[in-house]
Amino acid sequence: MKRVTLLFIIITCLLGLGPSAFGIGNAPRGIHLTWAEDDVYHTMAISWYTKMEADSMVYYDTKPHDKLEDYAYKERGVHKQIRATDVIFKNWYHDVILRNLKPATTYYFVCGSPVGWSDVKKFKTLDPQKDIRFGFIADSRRRGEGRYEIEGPAYPDARIFVAQGLAAKNPNFVAFGGDMIMSGHEEWEWEAWFEDIPGNLIASDGCIIPMVPAIGNHDLARYKIPGKQYDVTDETDYDIFTGLFALPDNELWFALNFKDLRFVTLATAGGIKQKGLSTGDRVKREAEKQVFFLRKQLETNDKKWFITQTHYSINGGYGIKPGDGGWGLIDTWVPLYEKYKVPLVLTAHSHHYMRSWPLKRFAIGQDFVDFGKNLELWPKGPPIIEMANDSREGVTYIVQGNCGADTEWFEDGTAIRIYPWMAAAYSRPSFTLVEIKGDQCYVVTETVGTNVEKDHLRPRGYVLDEFTLPYTTEDFPMAKYNVAF
């Protein structure tokens, strides 16, 4: 560092000037909040990146200040560059964990270092006495070239509208089901994602909304040319994701406990070090590593509600094939879901919204072959399914992959498969909001950013699907695709 720059920093610090006085080109970017520990009421992790190496500091207090020395608390964190196989990111990534926070309290903070500080930001710790409301979105990755939206916004507007629409609902946190970007090794894509998604997850009171992300297959380090050269061959493929977010335990599968809710994040990205395996086999081996963890979380659960999120959809609209990622979960996690009657399983990967009827049993027979979306193309019979008239006796699965990824594949039904267990199926940029109120769980999915110039389109905020758990039903009408449009 040049002496004149160092002298400027020292003089500025002695004068006690505000944070903006230090902004000389290395200010924090991509600021986002997570929980790095299973203590959502007394901790918060603040993360960001800088263009150059710098210290990792957070000054914070229950009221904002113009001078850093006026803040009552400060915490130092860690910074690193992210490396995975042959990928080395140029930016420096910072994590600072704040502990011993007061619940139900608004905190103001400034993060960075003497060579660049952020503006004053704020967040609010959760109130352990209040009900939990959270959002679920996934698949915001950039669009493939040569494809165009038939209706609604395209990249990047779609994912920005989804983030803004969800933030307007003021959720306590936002769960993200993976596939944030197209190619995990591309640092510029992550930079854009932090601007478009966390950058717009700001509540109406100006507080940053924490995130609980799950890894997706596109978030792997070696996802370079999807569909052409996708070959996971190194165990460091997870390291970009875990380097970008500060999360509990191994940062891939973990549990967070809220009032009346245990929320479990599981990993299905297919990052297994072995060539020649199908995606389904990769995911199955990945899922097998988590069976003990999932069973333990189920056995020890003392909350009224148990909800999981992961990336690959178990029974979504991409079909059910031995090579598909969801196939790898049918013999590993699904039996546990059914045994412990997990009320709600959140998944993504398919770029549409799907809700199932409560399933008491979902399995695949030895001779099952899925040739397409039409039921008559099942020469050896459909999957083995048993639906429950009472939602408390079955598992409700949701697919929500509408946060900006390509949706035009599904406009005419060419890539979507409608199965008998589906209660709802749509494909529009949208978000799902889950609200826990004691013995009830209210779930609503809303579309965003549609074009209201055409009569057959619905305005932003149109409800695609809503239901409340628990419920009972006498019959199970099969979904009609995009029935609202």
Q: Spell out the domain ranges in the chain.
A: 3-124, 132-469
pLDDT for 376: 46
Helices (H) and strands (E) in the chain, counts: 7, 26
HEC per residue, 417-466: CCCCCEEEEECCCEEEEEEEECCEEEEEEEECCCCCCCCCCCCCCCEEEE
What fold does the segment set 132-469 form as a domain? Purple Acid Phosphatase; chain A, domain 2 (3.60.21)
CB 254 within 8 A of CB 306: no
Give CATH for domain 3-124: 2.60.40.380
CA 293-276-265 angle, 5° bins: 25
pLDDT for 62: 98
pLDDT for 429: 86
d(CA 157, CA 331): 39
pLDDT for 224: 58
pLDDT for 185: 87
CB 111 within 8 A of CB 121: yes
pLDDT for 103: 98
Tokens for 322? 């031995």
| Identity of residue 19 | P
pLDDT for 417: 75
CA 184-185-189 angle, 5° bins: 70
Tokens for 416? 């979507």
pLDDT for 158: 86
pLDDT for 323: 67
pLDDT for 278: 78
Residue 96 burial (10 A CB sphere; 0-12, 13-18, 19+): buried
448-484 confidence digits (pLDDT tens) = 875 555 544 556 678 999 999 999 999 999 988 765 4
pLDDT for 150: 47
Region of 332 (left: φ > 0; alpha: ψ -120 to 50; beta: rest) is alpha
- Residue by residue, pLDDT tens for the chain (485 residues) are 444 344 444 444 443 444 444 445 689 999 999 999 999 999 999 999 999 999 999 999 999 999 999 999 999 999 999 988 778 899 999 999 999 999 999 999 999 999 999 999 999 999 999 999 999 999 998 755 434 444 556 778 889 999 999 999 999 999 999 999 988 888 999 999 999 999 999 999 999 999 999 999 999 886 654 444 445 456 678 999 999 999 999 999 999 999 999 999 999 998 876 667 778 888 899 999 999 999 999 999 999 999 999 999 988 777 676 667 888 899 999 999 999 999 999 999 988 899 999 999 998 877 666 655 544 445 456 688 999 999 999 999 999 999 988 775 555 555 677 888 999 988 888 999 999 999 999 999 998 875 555 544 556 678 999 999 999 999 999 988 765 44
CA 283-287-291 angle, 5° bins: 170
Contacts 24+ apart (CB under 8 A), 371-380: 372/319, 372/417, 373/319, 373/413, 373/416, 373/417, 373/418, 375/420
CA distances, 104 to each of 45, 155, 279, 373, 433 (Å): 16, 36, 43, 49, 21
Task: Give the three-class secondary structure for 80.
Answer: strand
Tokens for 270? 């297919």
